[in-house]
Structure 1
Protein backbone atom coordinates (compact mmCIF):
# COMPACT_ATOMS: atom_id res chain seq x y z
CA UNK A 1 0.00 0.00 0.00
CA UNK A 2 1.22 3.48 -0.84
CA UNK A 3 0.34 6.93 0.41
CA UNK A 4 -1.61 7.48 -2.81
CA UNK A 5 -3.79 4.48 -1.93
CA UNK A 6 -4.47 5.90 1.53
CA UNK A 7 -5.30 9.32 0.11
CA UNK A 8 -7.68 7.90 -2.51
CA UNK A 9 -9.50 5.66 -0.02
CA UNK A 10 -9.79 8.56 2.44
CA UNK A 11 -11.07 11.01 -0.16
CA UNK A 12 -8.28 13.53 0.43
CA UNK A 13 -5.21 14.72 -1.45
CA UNK A 14 -1.84 13.00 -1.10
CA UNK A 15 -0.45 16.03 0.76
CA UNK A 16 -3.39 16.07 3.22
CA UNK A 17 -2.97 12.36 3.86
CA UNK A 18 0.73 12.89 4.50
CA UNK A 19 0.04 15.72 6.94
CA UNK A 20 -2.73 13.78 8.70
CA UNK A 21 -0.41 10.84 9.39
CA UNK A 22 2.17 13.16 10.96
CA UNK A 23 0.81 14.63 14.19
CA UNK A 24 3.21 17.60 14.22
CA UNK A 25 2.44 18.53 10.62
CA UNK A 26 -1.29 17.96 11.14
CA UNK A 27 -1.32 20.55 13.93
CA UNK A 28 0.65 23.10 11.88
CA UNK A 29 -1.45 22.58 8.77
CA UNK A 30 -4.68 22.66 10.82
CA UNK A 31 -5.96 19.34 9.54
CA UNK A 32 -9.37 18.69 11.11
CA UNK A 33 -9.41 15.99 13.81
CA UNK A 34 -12.11 14.05 11.95
CA UNK A 35 -9.99 14.02 8.79
CA UNK A 36 -6.93 12.87 10.73
CA UNK A 37 -8.86 10.03 12.35
CA UNK A 38 -10.34 8.93 9.02
CA UNK A 39 -6.96 8.89 7.26
CA UNK A 40 -5.29 6.98 10.10
CA UNK A 41 -8.12 4.43 10.17
CA UNK A 42 -7.85 3.88 6.41
CA UNK A 43 -4.07 3.52 6.72
CA UNK A 44 -4.50 0.82 9.36
CA UNK A 45 -7.12 -1.03 7.31
CA UNK A 46 -4.96 -0.97 4.18
CA UNK A 47 -1.80 -1.95 6.03
CA UNK A 48 0.08 1.17 4.99
CA UNK A 49 3.64 1.17 6.37
CA UNK A 50 5.06 4.70 6.81
CA UNK A 51 8.35 3.57 8.31
CA UNK A 52 11.23 4.93 6.24
CA UNK A 53 13.37 1.78 6.34
CA UNK A 54 10.46 -0.40 5.31
CA UNK A 55 9.63 1.88 2.43
CA UNK A 56 13.26 2.00 1.32
CA UNK A 57 13.35 -1.80 1.22
CA UNK A 58 10.12 -1.89 -0.73
CA UNK A 59 11.01 0.90 -3.18
CA UNK A 60 14.70 0.13 -3.58
CA UNK A 61 15.80 3.61 -2.48
CA UNK A 62 15.62 5.77 0.61
CA UNK A 63 13.21 8.68 1.04
CA UNK A 64 16.12 11.09 0.63
CA UNK A 65 16.97 13.54 -2.16
CA UNK A 66 20.52 14.94 -2.23
CA UNK A 67 21.31 18.45 -3.45
CA UNK A 68 24.94 19.30 -4.29
CA UNK A 69 25.92 22.97 -4.14
CA UNK A 70 29.45 23.79 -5.24
CA UNK A 71 31.62 26.52 -3.71
CA UNK A 72 30.71 29.94 -5.03
CA UNK A 73 27.08 29.05 -5.71
CA UNK A 74 25.58 30.21 -2.42
CA UNK A 75 23.32 33.24 -2.39
CA UNK A 76 19.73 34.44 -2.28
CA UNK A 77 18.84 32.28 -5.27
CA UNK A 78 20.17 29.09 -3.69
CA UNK A 79 18.42 29.80 -0.38
CA UNK A 80 15.10 30.45 -2.12
CA UNK A 81 15.59 27.38 -4.31
CA UNK A 82 16.26 25.18 -1.27
CA UNK A 83 13.11 26.45 0.47
CA UNK A 84 10.96 25.42 -2.47
CA UNK A 85 12.74 22.11 -2.97
CA UNK A 86 12.49 21.21 0.71
CA UNK A 87 8.82 22.20 0.99
CA UNK A 88 7.82 20.12 -2.01
CA UNK A 89 9.82 17.10 -0.85
CA UNK A 90 8.35 17.29 2.67
CA UNK A 91 4.85 17.40 1.24
CA UNK A 92 5.65 14.07 -0.44
CA UNK A 93 7.36 12.58 2.64
CA UNK A 94 10.92 12.93 1.41
CA UNK A 95 13.90 14.40 3.21
CA UNK A 96 16.35 16.86 1.64
CA UNK A 97 20.08 16.50 2.26
CA UNK A 98 22.17 19.49 1.13
CA UNK A 99 25.91 19.04 0.50
CA UNK A 100 27.98 22.22 0.26
CA UNK A 101 31.51 22.49 -1.08
CA UNK A 102 33.57 20.65 -3.66
CA UNK A 103 32.17 17.25 -4.66
CA UNK A 104 34.21 14.56 -6.36
CA UNK A 105 32.89 11.41 -8.03
CA UNK A 106 34.34 9.43 -5.12
CA UNK A 107 32.49 11.38 -2.40
CA UNK A 108 29.29 11.29 -4.40
CA UNK A 109 29.62 7.52 -4.80
CA UNK A 110 30.06 7.20 -1.02
CA UNK A 111 26.81 9.07 -0.48
CA UNK A 112 25.01 6.86 -2.99
CA UNK A 113 26.28 3.72 -1.31
CA UNK A 114 25.48 4.95 2.20
CA UNK A 115 21.91 6.19 1.79
CA UNK A 116 20.74 5.13 -1.70
CA UNK A 117 18.93 8.45 -2.35
CA UNK A 118 15.93 8.70 -4.62
CA UNK A 119 17.75 11.38 -6.63
CA UNK A 120 20.89 13.52 -6.65
CA UNK A 121 20.44 17.08 -7.93
CA UNK A 122 23.41 19.17 -9.05
CA UNK A 123 22.38 22.73 -8.27
CA UNK A 124 24.89 24.21 -10.70
CA UNK A 125 23.70 22.16 -13.64
CA UNK A 126 20.04 22.97 -13.02
CA UNK A 127 20.71 26.70 -12.81
CA UNK A 128 23.01 26.71 -15.82
CA UNK A 129 20.71 24.81 -18.15
CA UNK A 130 17.32 25.83 -16.80
CA UNK A 131 16.08 22.48 -18.13
CA UNK A 132 13.47 22.18 -15.39
CA UNK A 133 11.78 25.09 -17.18
CA UNK A 134 12.02 23.28 -20.52
CA UNK A 135 14.36 26.03 -21.59
CA UNK A 136 17.56 24.24 -22.54
CA UNK A 137 20.59 26.39 -23.22
CA UNK A 138 20.94 28.55 -20.14
CA UNK A 139 17.38 29.63 -19.58
CA UNK A 140 16.65 32.57 -21.85
CA UNK A 141 13.05 32.57 -20.65
CA UNK A 142 13.66 32.45 -16.91
CA UNK A 143 17.13 31.08 -16.28
CA UNK A 144 20.61 32.49 -15.84
CA UNK A 145 20.74 33.86 -19.39
CA UNK A 146 17.50 35.81 -18.96
CA UNK A 147 18.61 37.15 -15.59
CA UNK A 148 21.97 38.28 -16.98
CA UNK A 149 20.19 40.04 -19.83
CA UNK A 150 17.80 41.73 -17.40
CA UNK A 151 20.73 43.18 -15.45
CA UNK A 152 22.37 44.55 -18.59
CA UNK A 153 19.12 45.83 -20.07
CA UNK A 154 18.44 47.97 -17.00
CA UNK A 155 21.76 49.73 -17.49
CA UNK A 156 21.17 50.22 -21.21
CA UNK A 157 17.72 51.67 -20.53
CA UNK A 158 19.42 54.24 -18.32
CA UNK A 159 21.74 55.28 -21.14
CA UNK A 160 24.79 53.12 -20.35
CA UNK A 161 26.22 51.53 -23.48
CA UNK A 162 29.78 51.06 -22.18
CA UNK A 163 29.45 48.54 -19.36
CA UNK A 164 31.93 46.39 -17.44
CA UNK A 165 31.37 43.23 -15.40
CA UNK A 166 33.03 42.89 -11.98
CA UNK A 167 33.91 39.30 -11.05
CA UNK A 168 34.80 37.70 -7.69
CA UNK A 169 38.42 36.86 -6.94
CA UNK A 170 37.48 33.30 -5.97
CA UNK A 171 36.73 30.78 -8.69
CA UNK A 172 33.06 30.38 -9.50
CA UNK A 173 31.63 27.77 -11.85
CA UNK A 174 29.23 30.45 -13.12
CA UNK A 175 31.74 33.18 -14.05
CA UNK A 176 32.51 32.09 -17.60
CA UNK A 177 28.87 31.30 -18.30
CA UNK A 178 27.71 34.65 -16.96
CA UNK A 179 30.18 36.48 -19.20
CA UNK A 180 29.01 34.45 -22.20
CA UNK A 181 25.34 35.24 -21.56
CA UNK A 182 26.07 38.92 -20.90
CA UNK A 183 28.00 39.07 -24.17
CA UNK A 184 25.14 37.48 -26.08
CA UNK A 185 22.69 39.91 -24.48
CA UNK A 186 24.94 42.83 -25.44
CA UNK A 187 24.95 41.70 -29.08
CA UNK A 188 21.16 41.46 -28.99
CA UNK A 189 21.02 45.04 -27.68
CA UNK A 190 23.54 46.29 -30.24
CA UNK A 191 26.04 47.53 -27.67
CA UNK A 192 29.69 46.69 -27.16
CA UNK A 193 30.37 43.41 -25.36
CA UNK A 194 31.34 44.33 -21.76
CA UNK A 195 34.90 43.91 -20.57
CA UNK A 196 35.45 42.33 -17.16
CA UNK A 197 37.81 42.65 -14.22
CA UNK A 198 38.26 40.99 -10.84
CA UNK A 199 37.15 42.84 -7.69
CA UNK A 200 39.25 41.44 -4.81
CA UNK A 201 37.77 40.90 -1.37
CA UNK A 202 40.35 43.04 0.45
CA UNK A 203 39.26 46.68 0.43
CA UNK A 204 42.54 48.28 -0.60
CA UNK A 205 43.18 45.74 -3.33
CA UNK A 206 39.67 46.20 -4.68
CA UNK A 207 40.12 49.99 -4.87
CA UNK A 208 43.38 49.49 -6.75
CA UNK A 209 41.73 47.05 -9.16
CA UNK A 210 38.80 49.38 -9.87
CA UNK A 211 41.12 52.36 -10.34
CA UNK A 212 43.38 50.41 -12.69
CA UNK A 213 40.46 49.17 -14.76
CA UNK A 214 38.81 52.58 -15.13
CA UNK A 215 42.17 54.07 -16.13
CA UNK A 216 42.40 51.63 -19.03
CA UNK A 217 38.68 51.90 -19.86
CA UNK A 218 37.63 55.51 -19.16
CA UNK A 219 34.60 55.15 -21.45
CA UNK A 220 32.92 52.74 -19.00
CA UNK A 221 29.98 54.43 -17.26
CA UNK A 222 28.43 51.44 -15.47
CA UNK A 223 29.61 48.31 -13.69
CA UNK A 224 27.50 45.15 -13.37
CA UNK A 225 28.43 43.05 -10.35
CA UNK A 226 28.65 39.27 -10.63
CA UNK A 227 26.56 39.27 -7.45
CA UNK A 228 25.66 41.72 -4.69
CA UNK A 229 28.81 40.91 -2.73
CA UNK A 230 31.00 41.97 -5.63
CA UNK A 231 28.85 45.00 -6.42
CA UNK A 232 29.14 46.20 -2.81
CA UNK A 233 32.92 45.90 -3.03
CA UNK A 234 32.83 48.07 -6.16
CA UNK A 235 30.58 50.64 -4.46
CA UNK A 236 33.06 50.93 -1.59
CA UNK A 237 36.02 51.16 -3.96
CA UNK A 238 34.40 53.96 -5.96
CA UNK A 239 33.70 55.85 -2.72
CA UNK A 240 37.34 55.45 -1.68
CA UNK A 241 38.43 56.73 -5.10
CA UNK A 242 36.21 59.80 -4.86
CA UNK A 243 33.97 58.64 -7.71
CA UNK A 244 30.28 59.54 -7.41
CA UNK A 245 27.66 56.82 -7.84
CA UNK A 246 25.68 56.93 -10.07
CA UNK A 247 26.79 60.32 -11.46
CA UNK A 248 30.30 59.20 -12.44
CA UNK A 249 29.81 55.43 -12.54
CA UNK A 250 26.59 53.46 -12.06
CA UNK A 251 26.64 50.10 -10.25
CA UNK A 252 24.12 47.26 -10.30
CA UNK A 253 24.16 44.04 -8.28
CA UNK A 254 22.74 40.58 -8.86
CA UNK A 255 20.84 38.12 -6.64
CA UNK A 256 19.68 40.68 -4.01
CA UNK A 257 21.32 39.53 -0.76
CA UNK A 258 19.51 42.28 1.15
CA UNK A 259 22.59 44.22 2.29
CA UNK A 260 22.40 46.60 -0.64
CA UNK A 261 19.47 48.39 0.97
CA UNK A 262 21.75 49.59 3.78
CA UNK A 263 24.52 51.21 1.72
CA UNK A 264 24.88 54.80 0.57
CA UNK A 265 23.86 54.97 -2.17
CA UNK A 266 21.57 51.96 -1.88
CA UNK A 267 22.37 49.24 -4.40
CA UNK A 268 20.08 48.56 -7.36
CA UNK A 269 20.04 44.83 -8.05
CA UNK A 270 18.33 41.83 -9.65
CA UNK A 271 15.99 39.81 -7.45
CA UNK A 272 15.24 36.20 -8.41
CA UNK A 273 12.55 34.22 -6.58
CA UNK A 274 13.69 30.64 -7.04
CA UNK A 275 11.23 28.86 -4.77
CA UNK A 276 9.17 27.67 -7.74
CA UNK A 277 12.39 26.47 -9.42
CA UNK A 278 13.04 24.30 -6.36
CA UNK A 279 9.50 22.93 -6.36
CA UNK A 280 9.80 22.07 -10.05
CA UNK A 281 13.06 20.21 -9.41
CA UNK A 282 11.44 18.24 -6.59
CA UNK A 283 8.52 17.18 -8.76
CA UNK A 284 10.83 16.13 -11.58
CA UNK A 285 13.02 14.16 -9.17
CA UNK A 286 9.95 12.32 -7.85
CA UNK A 287 8.37 11.84 -11.31
CA UNK A 288 5.37 13.98 -10.35
CA UNK A 289 3.31 16.27 -12.58
CA UNK A 290 5.06 19.63 -12.90
CA UNK A 291 2.57 21.35 -15.19
CA UNK A 292 0.99 24.54 -13.99
CA UNK A 293 3.90 25.51 -11.75
CA UNK A 294 5.67 28.59 -13.10
CA UNK A 295 8.15 30.79 -11.26
CA UNK A 296 7.58 34.53 -11.05
CA UNK A 297 9.86 36.50 -13.40
CA UNK A 298 13.05 38.03 -12.05
CA UNK A 299 12.76 41.76 -11.32
CA UNK A 300 14.92 44.80 -10.86
CA UNK A 301 15.00 46.17 -7.31
CA UNK A 302 15.38 49.88 -8.08
CA UNK A 303 17.40 51.78 -5.51
CA UNK A 304 19.93 54.59 -5.96
CA UNK A 305 23.10 53.23 -7.60
CA UNK A 306 21.88 53.40 -11.23
Structure 2
Protein backbone atom coordinates (compact mmCIF):
# COMPACT_ATOMS: atom_id res chain seq x y z
CA UNK A 1 0.00 0.00 0.00
CA UNK A 2 1.49 3.40 -0.96
CA UNK A 3 1.69 6.20 1.58
CA UNK A 4 -0.88 8.27 -0.28
CA UNK A 5 -3.38 5.44 -0.74
CA UNK A 6 -6.35 5.26 1.56
CA UNK A 7 -6.20 2.01 3.62
CA UNK A 8 -8.83 -0.56 2.67
CA UNK A 9 -10.58 -3.49 4.33
CA UNK A 10 -8.09 -5.79 2.60
CA UNK A 11 -5.18 -3.87 4.14
CA UNK A 12 -6.66 -4.27 7.63
CA UNK A 13 -7.34 -7.95 6.96
CA UNK A 14 -3.75 -8.58 5.89
CA UNK A 15 -2.36 -6.71 8.89
CA UNK A 16 -4.57 -8.57 11.38
CA UNK A 17 -4.38 -12.01 9.77
CA UNK A 18 -8.10 -12.50 9.15
CA UNK A 19 -10.42 -12.30 6.15
CA UNK A 20 -11.91 -9.05 4.79
CA UNK A 21 -15.34 -10.37 5.79
CA UNK A 22 -14.27 -10.64 9.42
CA UNK A 23 -12.84 -7.10 9.31
CA UNK A 24 -16.17 -5.80 8.02
CA UNK A 25 -18.08 -7.64 10.74
CA UNK A 26 -15.79 -6.50 13.57
CA UNK A 27 -15.62 -2.84 12.58
CA UNK A 28 -19.34 -2.58 12.00
CA UNK A 29 -20.80 -4.29 15.05
CA UNK A 30 -21.89 -7.67 13.68
CA UNK A 31 -19.07 -9.72 15.21
CA UNK A 32 -20.74 -11.84 17.89
CA UNK A 33 -19.19 -15.01 16.39
CA UNK A 34 -15.64 -13.59 16.46
CA UNK A 35 -13.42 -14.12 19.51
CA UNK A 36 -12.56 -11.12 21.69
CA UNK A 37 -8.87 -11.58 20.92
CA UNK A 38 -9.51 -11.44 17.17
CA UNK A 39 -11.79 -8.39 17.49
CA UNK A 40 -9.11 -6.48 19.37
CA UNK A 41 -6.45 -7.49 16.83
CA UNK A 42 -8.60 -6.17 13.98
CA UNK A 43 -9.33 -2.89 15.78
CA UNK A 44 -5.66 -2.35 16.59
CA UNK A 45 -4.70 -2.95 12.95
CA UNK A 46 -7.38 -0.51 11.78
CA UNK A 47 -6.16 2.16 14.19
CA UNK A 48 -2.54 1.64 13.18
CA UNK A 49 -3.38 1.97 9.49
CA UNK A 50 -5.74 4.90 9.99
CA UNK A 51 -8.59 2.98 8.35
CA UNK A 52 -11.96 4.76 8.16
CA UNK A 53 -14.99 2.66 7.02
CA UNK A 54 -16.93 3.99 4.07
CA UNK A 55 -20.67 4.51 4.13
CA UNK A 56 -21.55 1.11 2.71
CA UNK A 57 -19.34 -0.70 5.18
CA UNK A 58 -20.85 1.29 8.02
CA UNK A 59 -24.19 -0.25 7.09
CA UNK A 60 -22.99 -3.73 8.09
CA UNK A 61 -24.25 -3.74 11.67
CA UNK A 62 -26.71 -5.40 13.96
CA UNK A 63 -30.04 -4.08 12.77
CA UNK A 64 -33.59 -4.11 13.98
CA UNK A 65 -35.02 -6.49 11.37
CA UNK A 66 -36.13 -10.03 12.13
CA UNK A 67 -33.59 -11.49 9.71
CA UNK A 68 -30.46 -13.47 10.57
CA UNK A 69 -27.83 -13.59 7.84
CA UNK A 70 -25.80 -16.79 7.40
CA UNK A 71 -22.74 -16.64 5.16
CA UNK A 72 -21.57 -20.02 3.80
CA UNK A 73 -19.42 -18.72 0.95
CA UNK A 74 -17.01 -21.36 -0.30
CA UNK A 75 -18.29 -24.13 1.97
CA UNK A 76 -19.33 -27.19 -0.07
CA UNK A 77 -22.78 -28.68 0.37
CA UNK A 78 -22.77 -31.54 2.87
CA UNK A 79 -25.02 -33.49 5.22
CA UNK A 80 -23.70 -31.52 8.18
CA UNK A 81 -24.20 -28.13 6.57
CA UNK A 82 -27.73 -29.01 5.48
CA UNK A 83 -28.62 -30.22 8.96
CA UNK A 84 -27.07 -27.14 10.55
CA UNK A 85 -29.14 -24.86 8.33
CA UNK A 86 -32.32 -26.83 9.12
CA UNK A 87 -31.73 -26.50 12.84
CA UNK A 88 -30.86 -22.83 12.56
CA UNK A 89 -33.93 -22.10 10.45
CA UNK A 90 -36.28 -24.10 12.69
CA UNK A 91 -35.17 -22.34 15.87
CA UNK A 92 -35.32 -18.89 14.27
CA UNK A 93 -38.85 -19.63 13.01
CA UNK A 94 -39.96 -20.43 16.56
CA UNK A 95 -38.87 -16.92 17.53
CA UNK A 96 -40.45 -15.24 14.49
CA UNK A 97 -37.18 -14.65 12.66
CA UNK A 98 -36.22 -15.44 9.08
CA UNK A 99 -32.96 -17.02 7.94
CA UNK A 100 -31.22 -15.57 4.87
CA UNK A 101 -28.42 -17.79 3.53
CA UNK A 102 -25.73 -16.11 1.43
CA UNK A 103 -23.47 -18.35 -0.63
CA UNK A 104 -21.32 -18.20 -3.73
CA UNK A 105 -18.12 -16.25 -4.26
CA UNK A 106 -18.82 -12.83 -2.79
CA UNK A 107 -16.53 -9.94 -2.04
CA UNK A 108 -16.66 -8.39 1.41
CA UNK A 109 -18.19 -5.32 -0.23
CA UNK A 110 -21.02 -7.38 -1.73
CA UNK A 111 -21.69 -8.97 1.63
CA UNK A 112 -21.75 -5.51 3.18
CA UNK A 113 -24.31 -4.42 0.57
CA UNK A 114 -26.52 -7.40 1.41
CA UNK A 115 -26.37 -6.52 5.09
CA UNK A 116 -27.11 -2.88 4.30
CA UNK A 117 -30.25 -3.90 2.43
CA UNK A 118 -31.69 -6.29 5.02
CA UNK A 119 -30.27 -4.74 8.22
CA UNK A 120 -29.95 -8.17 9.88
CA UNK A 121 -30.53 -8.81 13.56
CA UNK A 122 -27.31 -10.86 13.54
CA UNK A 123 -24.71 -12.28 11.17
CA UNK A 124 -23.27 -15.81 11.37
CA UNK A 125 -20.20 -16.27 9.18
CA UNK A 126 -19.30 -19.93 8.76
CA UNK A 127 -17.17 -19.01 5.76
CA UNK A 128 -14.65 -17.31 8.02
CA UNK A 129 -14.52 -20.05 10.65
CA UNK A 130 -11.11 -21.22 9.48
CA UNK A 131 -9.54 -17.98 10.65
CA UNK A 132 -10.29 -18.82 14.28
CA UNK A 133 -7.33 -19.74 16.45
CA UNK A 134 -7.03 -23.40 17.41
CA UNK A 135 -7.17 -22.68 21.13
CA UNK A 136 -8.93 -24.57 23.91
CA UNK A 137 -12.16 -22.65 23.30
CA UNK A 138 -12.14 -22.99 19.52
CA UNK A 139 -14.86 -25.62 19.64
CA UNK A 140 -17.12 -23.27 21.57
CA UNK A 141 -16.53 -20.31 19.25
CA UNK A 142 -17.37 -22.44 16.20
CA UNK A 143 -20.39 -24.10 17.84
CA UNK A 144 -18.71 -27.48 17.35
CA UNK A 145 -19.41 -27.40 13.63
CA UNK A 146 -15.84 -27.75 12.37
CA UNK A 147 -13.86 -28.64 15.48
CA UNK A 148 -14.28 -32.41 15.88
CA UNK A 149 -10.77 -33.51 15.00
CA UNK A 150 -10.32 -35.41 18.27
CA UNK A 151 -13.11 -37.88 17.43
CA UNK A 152 -11.38 -39.77 14.58
CA UNK A 153 -8.03 -39.52 16.39
CA UNK A 154 -9.41 -41.13 19.55
CA UNK A 155 -11.13 -43.82 17.52
CA UNK A 156 -7.96 -44.69 15.60
CA UNK A 157 -5.90 -44.70 18.79
CA UNK A 158 -8.41 -47.21 20.14
CA UNK A 159 -7.60 -49.35 17.10
CA UNK A 160 -3.90 -49.28 18.12
CA UNK A 161 -2.78 -46.80 15.47
CA UNK A 162 0.16 -44.70 16.70
CA UNK A 163 1.01 -42.84 13.50
CA UNK A 164 -1.98 -40.98 12.06
CA UNK A 165 -2.08 -38.53 9.16
CA UNK A 166 -4.58 -35.93 8.00
CA UNK A 167 -5.67 -35.68 4.35
CA UNK A 168 -6.76 -32.13 3.49
CA UNK A 169 -8.31 -30.67 0.32
CA UNK A 170 -6.22 -28.76 -2.20
CA UNK A 171 -9.04 -26.32 -3.00
CA UNK A 172 -8.48 -22.57 -2.67
CA UNK A 173 -11.91 -21.90 -1.15
CA UNK A 174 -11.29 -24.44 1.62
CA UNK A 175 -7.75 -23.49 2.60
CA UNK A 176 -8.73 -21.68 5.80
CA UNK A 177 -11.00 -24.47 7.02
CA UNK A 178 -8.50 -27.13 5.95
CA UNK A 179 -5.81 -25.29 7.88
CA UNK A 180 -8.03 -25.22 10.96
CA UNK A 181 -8.74 -28.95 10.71
CA UNK A 182 -5.04 -29.65 10.29
CA UNK A 183 -4.15 -27.62 13.40
CA UNK A 184 -6.86 -29.33 15.43
CA UNK A 185 -5.62 -32.73 14.29
CA UNK A 186 -2.17 -31.76 15.55
CA UNK A 187 -3.63 -30.76 18.92
CA UNK A 188 -5.66 -33.98 19.16
CA UNK A 189 -2.66 -36.14 18.26
CA UNK A 190 -0.47 -34.39 20.80
CA UNK A 191 -3.16 -34.79 23.49
CA UNK A 192 -3.33 -38.51 22.71
CA UNK A 193 0.43 -38.85 23.16
CA UNK A 194 1.06 -39.59 19.48
CA UNK A 195 3.89 -38.54 17.23
CA UNK A 196 3.32 -35.39 15.21
CA UNK A 197 0.38 -35.79 12.83
CA UNK A 198 1.60 -35.74 9.23
CA UNK A 199 -0.57 -33.82 6.77
CA UNK A 200 -0.84 -33.86 3.01
CA UNK A 201 -3.22 -32.41 0.45
CA UNK A 202 -5.17 -34.12 -2.30
CA UNK A 203 -6.51 -32.43 -5.45
CA UNK A 204 -9.74 -33.39 -7.20
CA UNK A 205 -7.87 -35.30 -9.92
CA UNK A 206 -7.60 -39.03 -9.21
CA UNK A 207 -4.40 -39.31 -11.27
CA UNK A 208 -2.68 -36.60 -9.23
CA UNK A 209 -4.11 -37.98 -5.98
CA UNK A 210 -2.57 -41.36 -6.81
CA UNK A 211 0.87 -39.81 -7.29
CA UNK A 212 0.48 -37.67 -4.17
CA UNK A 213 -0.41 -40.72 -2.08
CA UNK A 214 2.49 -42.71 -3.55
CA UNK A 215 4.93 -39.95 -2.55
CA UNK A 216 3.38 -39.61 0.89
CA UNK A 217 3.73 -43.34 1.55
CA UNK A 218 7.39 -43.17 0.55
CA UNK A 219 8.04 -40.23 2.89
CA UNK A 220 5.92 -41.57 5.78
CA UNK A 221 5.98 -45.38 5.75
CA UNK A 222 5.15 -45.37 9.45
CA UNK A 223 1.62 -43.96 8.93
CA UNK A 224 -1.07 -46.63 9.32
CA UNK A 225 -4.22 -44.51 9.37
CA UNK A 226 -5.53 -41.37 7.68
CA UNK A 227 -8.36 -39.07 8.81
CA UNK A 228 -9.73 -37.19 5.81
CA UNK A 229 -11.23 -33.69 5.81
CA UNK A 230 -14.59 -35.04 4.61
CA UNK A 231 -16.17 -38.11 3.02
CA UNK A 232 -15.52 -36.90 -0.53
CA UNK A 233 -11.80 -36.66 0.13
CA UNK A 234 -11.80 -40.00 1.94
CA UNK A 235 -13.43 -41.69 -1.08
CA UNK A 236 -10.85 -40.11 -3.39
CA UNK A 237 -8.17 -41.48 -1.10
CA UNK A 238 -9.69 -44.97 -1.20
CA UNK A 239 -9.84 -44.81 -5.01
CA UNK A 240 -6.16 -43.80 -5.15
CA UNK A 241 -5.29 -46.62 -2.76
CA UNK A 242 -7.04 -49.12 -5.03
CA UNK A 243 -4.91 -47.97 -7.96
CA UNK A 244 -1.78 -48.52 -5.88
CA UNK A 245 -2.89 -51.99 -4.83
CA UNK A 246 -3.45 -50.92 -1.21
CA UNK A 247 -6.32 -52.16 0.93
CA UNK A 248 -8.23 -50.46 3.73
CA UNK A 249 -7.84 -51.01 6.59
CA UNK A 250 -5.08 -53.63 6.15
CA UNK A 251 -2.57 -51.23 4.57
CA UNK A 252 -4.15 -47.92 5.61
CA UNK A 253 -7.20 -47.30 7.75
CA UNK A 254 -9.31 -44.43 6.36
CA UNK A 255 -11.87 -42.35 8.24
CA UNK A 256 -14.04 -39.66 6.64
CA UNK A 257 -16.25 -36.93 8.05
CA UNK A 258 -19.94 -36.13 7.38
CA UNK A 259 -21.59 -39.58 7.06
CA UNK A 260 -22.76 -39.17 3.46
CA UNK A 261 -24.87 -41.77 1.68
CA UNK A 262 -22.30 -42.49 -1.01
CA UNK A 263 -19.73 -43.27 1.69
CA UNK A 264 -21.92 -46.15 2.88
CA UNK A 265 -22.30 -47.44 -0.71
CA UNK A 266 -18.60 -47.46 -1.57
CA UNK A 267 -16.51 -50.64 -1.37
CA UNK A 268 -15.00 -50.81 1.15
CA UNK A 269 -17.78 -48.95 2.97
CA UNK A 270 -16.39 -45.77 4.52
CA UNK A 271 -15.93 -45.34 8.25
CA UNK A 272 -16.89 -41.76 9.01
CA UNK A 273 -17.80 -39.19 11.68
CA UNK A 274 -21.35 -37.98 12.26
CA UNK A 275 -22.12 -34.78 14.16
CA UNK A 276 -25.42 -33.49 15.56
CA UNK A 277 -25.37 -30.49 13.24
CA UNK A 278 -29.08 -29.75 13.54
CA UNK A 279 -28.83 -29.26 17.31
CA UNK A 280 -25.70 -27.15 16.79
CA UNK A 281 -27.74 -24.98 14.39
CA UNK A 282 -30.48 -24.50 16.99
CA UNK A 283 -27.93 -23.44 19.59
CA UNK A 284 -26.34 -21.02 17.10
CA UNK A 285 -29.75 -19.46 16.43
CA UNK A 286 -30.40 -18.85 20.13
CA UNK A 287 -26.90 -17.42 20.55
CA UNK A 288 -27.47 -15.07 17.60
CA UNK A 289 -30.70 -13.84 19.16
CA UNK A 290 -29.16 -13.43 22.61
CA UNK A 291 -31.36 -16.13 24.13
CA UNK A 292 -30.39 -18.54 26.94
CA UNK A 293 -28.99 -21.89 25.90
CA UNK A 294 -31.54 -24.67 25.49
CA UNK A 295 -31.56 -27.54 27.97
CA UNK A 296 -31.14 -30.32 25.42
CA UNK A 297 -27.45 -30.95 24.83
CA UNK A 298 -25.85 -31.64 21.50
CA UNK A 299 -25.27 -35.35 20.96
CA UNK A 300 -21.53 -36.05 20.94
CA UNK A 301 -19.95 -36.60 17.55
CA UNK A 302 -19.53 -40.32 16.93
CA UNK A 303 -17.74 -42.62 14.56
CA UNK A 304 -19.91 -44.65 12.18
CA UNK A 305 -17.83 -47.81 11.94
CA UNK A 306 -17.79 -49.53 8.57
CA UNK A 307 -15.15 -51.41 6.60
CA UNK A 308 -12.47 -48.82 5.76
CA UNK A 309 -11.40 -48.10 9.32
Instruction: Classify the TM-score, shorter chain.
Output: 0.7 to 0.9
Greater Cα shift, 187-196 or 103-112? 103-112
Task: Name the CA shift for 1:232/1:278 in 2 (closer, same or farther; >3 Å).
Answer: same
TM-score (norm 1): 0.74
Find out whether 1:78 has 2:55 as its counterpart. no
CA offset at residue 62 of structure 1? Answer: 2.3
* Contact 2:138 2:147 (8 Å CA) reproduced: no
2:293 to 290, 294, 304: 290
Structure 1 CA distance for aligned equivalents of residues 115 and 73 of structure 2: 18
Structure 1 CA distance for aligned equivalents of residues 142 and 202 of structure 2: 29
Alignment-derived partner of residue 168 in structure 1: 169
Structure 2 CA distance for aligned equivalents of residues 104 and 237 of structure 1: 36
* Contact 2:249 2:308 (8 Å CA) reproduced: yes
Alignment-derived partner of residue 88 in structure 1: 91
**Which sections of structure 1, spanning at least 5 residues, go unmatched?**
1-59
Alignment-derived partner of residue 150 in structure 1: 151
* Contact 1:128 1:143 (8 Å CA) reproduced: no
Count of matched residue positions in the alignment of Structure 1 and Structure 2 = 244
Q: Aligned-residue CA RMSD in angstroms? A: 2.4
Q: Report the secondary structure of 1:147's partner residue.
A: coil
CA offset at residue 125 of structure 1? Answer: 5.3
Find out whether 1:234 has 2:237 as its counterpart. yes
Residues 210-239 of structure 1 show CA distances to partners (whole Å, capped at 9, x for unaligned) of: 111111111111111111111000000001
Find out whether 1:278 has 2:294 as its counterpart. no
Alignment-derived partner of residue 137 in structure 1: 138
Structure 2 CA distance for aligned equivalents of residues 246 and 169 of structure 1: 24
* Contact 1:267 1:305 (8 Å CA) reproduced: yes
Greater Cα shift, 96-105 or 225-234? 96-105
CA offset at residue 65 of structure 1? Answer: 1.1
* Contact 2:143 2:284 (8 Å CA) reproduced: no
CA offset at residue 128 of structure 1? Answer: 7.7
Structure 2 CA distance for aligned equivalents of residues 110 and 142 of structure 1: 26
Alignment-derived partner of residue 54 in structure 1: none
Find out whether 1:299 has 2:302 as its counterpart. yes
Task: Name the CA shift for 1:125/1:139 in 2 (closer, same or farther; >3 Å).
Answer: farther
Alignment-derived partner of residue 199 in structure 1: 202
CA offset at residue 84 of structure 1? Answer: 0.3
Alignment-derived partner of residue 31 in structure 2: none
1:217 to 216, 220, 223: 220
Greater Cα shift, 136-145 or 196-205? 136-145
Structure 2 CA distance for aligned equivalents of residues 129 and 297 of structure 1: 22
* Contact 1:142 1:298 (8 Å CA) reproduced: no
* Contact 2:69 2:99 (8 Å CA) reproduced: yes
Alignment-derived partner of residue 126 in structure 2: 123
Q: Report the secondary structure of 1:304's partner residue.
A: coil
